[in-house]
A and B are shown apart, each in its own frame.
Chain A
Amino acid sequence: MSRPLTTVRAVVWREARSSTIIITVLIAAVIEVGLRSFVASGGAVGMLALQPLVQNPAVAALYGRVANLDTGGVFVVWKMGAFMLLMVAVWSALLATRLTRAHEDDGSWDVLVIGRRDRGSVLRTTTLILALSVVVVAMVSGLVLLAGGQSAAGSAYFALGVLATGWSGAAIGLLAAQFVAPRRSASQAAIAIIIAAFFVRMVADSTVSTEWLRDVTFFGWVEKIGAFQHANPLALVPALVGPMVIAVVVVILQGRRDAGGALWTHPDSAPPQPFLLGSAWTFAWRERSSVWRWWTGGLAIFGGILGYLTHALVSLAQTDPGYVALLKRFGYGAMVTGVGFVALVTAAISVAFTYLVFTWIATVASDEVKGRLDVALATGPRRLTWLASVLASGLLAVVVAAGVTTLSMWLGVRLSGTPMSLSTVFKAIASSLGLVPFIVGVALWLVGRLPRSSFVVGSVFILVAYVVQALGPILKWPNWALACDPFHYIRAVPVQPVDLTGLAWVSVVGAGIGALGLWRYSRRDVVG
């Protein structure tokens, strides 16, 4: 018979394993692609022309500050670093709430807390597994850099940065799980903190006078480690010790609250709110309205910040012919104007709109798996009506979110002092919705065919498709491969014309996949 704590470790690791493997593979792939991009762009010599761009405050706000792009390692830190670290932080936070709050919500922790094991020991074991999962991701990221010919010290510092970020995200997730219940709320709180920390880092890197803000965010601490640049071991202290301190605080806090409870509790009672409960069509919106507020708020802030950066980037372009030439070489020549910049960034925002629609529809599958739809589908509307109501509300959600983002970005652009009409921003944002019909089809297919894993499969698909679109052209991948990527058909509107033919084909493919999904959904068993 296995020892009690060994059993807990095995149970927790089994749950953490899949997502750890997925995130490790993704990070490794992104680093590898980054290193190849560096070589494909002419190495250190080719990067010389990018130097003004790197030093530009607006770009620094987006990507973080680096010194010289003289090695593949620095290029990875600069071009992919912010994206990767954000991804690692969000993953570890979500894993933390899943391994702790979710188990308290469903009562499965009660099964583990028996005999000599108390809640504290289960939490400590869970935290250990969480920390080790991040170690796996960090080690592999360092090894991929090392295998790619980068310096051992730089690779080690980069891995430590990934470790610090993952641990920080996990610590935030664990902390949120102590304060907030249920898991969904804890996850939302943790992600909000992480995104706020990321925005603070952006502000910190945008001007010299705000540099001090780097000390108040873990993204800033990690940046100060300076992998492949000015290695700064001292910056590791807050970056690595901070999460450990939070972990100790979490163990103490857990001992001061009831099992299954949270330190901050919403009132359990509320007056009746029959608003939007009159039909499946209206309830589809009400059920997801809080998620929609988070998405729309986040996109509005992001759009506003990007809009505000327009002036700085355009000014740089207009004073540096070398930079303009470089942008043109990379296919980003449009960025030398305000309209071009907005067009390019909104094309990138298309991934957010796509993901919003996908997750909206995928909740049908998650609700079904949890058994919430049994009564509704057994005695209420038809399955297809239920799905159609969610689809309709999802389309409304993304359109309204796009409208709000349009307005905030336009305000940002105008505040930065760049003349631009609202209709220009509108055209850019509207074109970024071009993949919505396709992703609706993919989501319907996943709900119909893979209800239990639709969320993970769809998320990975969108992420991979976006990475292929972003890096495929730089790596000179064959046209047929790029043409298979749906994001390939999103253009930088209005400086480029909408690819109506391409989007029509992609939409037709989406419609076909969606029809198969609907056919399957209407005929399969309801799971749960």
Chain B
Amino acid sequence: MTSPALDIQHLVKDYGTTRAVNDVTLSLEPGEVLGFLGPNGAGKSTTLRLALGLLRPTSGTVTVLGHPAGTDEARARVAYVAGDVSLWPQLTGEDTLTLLASLHGSTDAAYTKELVDRFELDTRKRLRAYSKGNRQKVALIGAFATRAEVLLLDEPTSGLDPLMERVFRECIVDARSRGQAILLSSHMLSEVEHLCNRVAMIRSGKLFTVADVADLQKRVGVEFDVVGEVGDLAGVQGVTHVEELPDGVRVRVVGAPTAFLAALATRNITAVHGREASLEEIFLNYYDESMTA
């Protein structure tokens, strides 16, 4: 049996009396892209830094392909991109990529060149002259070029324009198809929705859900905009939420919509539009639930 790409077990990190990460258990398989969602200060970056071995856990364990985080074996198998890239300002982009490749020890030089072209990075410029987005590109190229088995990405697209975000998504798809495992911490929920098989949501240091996006959508339900004289739908099986609209109602239905559709058949309606909940809606829904729990 092969080890998970990343295995986090009962991870706890305390700063004095503040518990930044609280009993987090999470697993990432090779070839999987796991979205890591949470509000600011929820503990996402701390969890990633623990997984990198930059922080020491108060308790719990993190392994990378079976090797404890921070060991030589683990470091050789991970690549990392921070949300706010800080490197040496006097180096040019190319020099920085050379340095990062030297420090990591294994880099695909041809892929580096390809990435530089795809991200349209002017590598002759010094880091201090780069915009935030361009600094982010340097870090992304450096990370992807390692072909590391595990990519830990913390808000990797902050500062990137929409065109470069698209290139980033293509790189993630490439990496996934090569069997690389990716933990993607992001506030760009549409990005996570496009790329991730599963998402983990964290709040106040505690994971409150880890599930497939499709499962979450099922749990949150489907939203219908019904135009016409709908009447009262509140008691219909599966209907969890009804909101009045100028020309009808907006209804959320969880589970099979059979009863809901049967009820509609008896009403005087002119149109029905249905759509699955977006990840943003799912996140907000779950976040609200976790707040009230």
Contact = CB atoms under 8 A, between A and B. Distances in A.
A528 B82 CA distance: 11
A124 interface: no
B187 interface: no
Contacts of A283: 99, 102-103
Interface in A367-421: 370-372, 374-382
Contact of A272 (B86, B98, B122): B98
Contact of B82 (A266, A268, A375, A381): A375
A374 B55 CA distance: 11
A378 B53 contact: yes
Nearest to B100: A375
Contacts of B89: 182
B176 interface: no
Interface stretch (A74-82, A354-362, A519-527): A519-527
B22 interface: no
Interface in B24-46: none
A525 B129 contact: no
B84 interface: yes
Return the 6 tightest CB-CB contacts between A and B, nearest first: A380-B103, A268-B129, A371-B86, A378-B52, A526-B54, A269-B124
B98 A524 contact: no
Interface in B47-62: 49, 52-56
Interface stretch (A47-55, A196-204, A273-281, A336-344): A273-281
A385 to B, nearest CB: 10
A269 B122 contact: yes
A376 B104 CA distance: 8
A287 interface: yes
Contact of A280 (B53, B94, B103): B103
13 contacts: A269-B122, A269-B125, A272-B92, A272-B124, A273-B95, A287-B88, A376-B100, A378-B52, A378-B152, A379-B75, A379-B146, A380-B75, A528-B86
B126 A378 contact: no
Interface string B116-149: 0000001111101100000000010011001010
A115 interface: no
Most buried by B among A277, A372, A376, A524: A277
Contacts of A381: 103
Contact of A277 (B56, B95, B104): B95
Contacts of A382: 72, 75
Contacts of A371: 82, 84, 86
Given A269-B122, A270-B92, A374 B104 contact: no
B279 interface: no
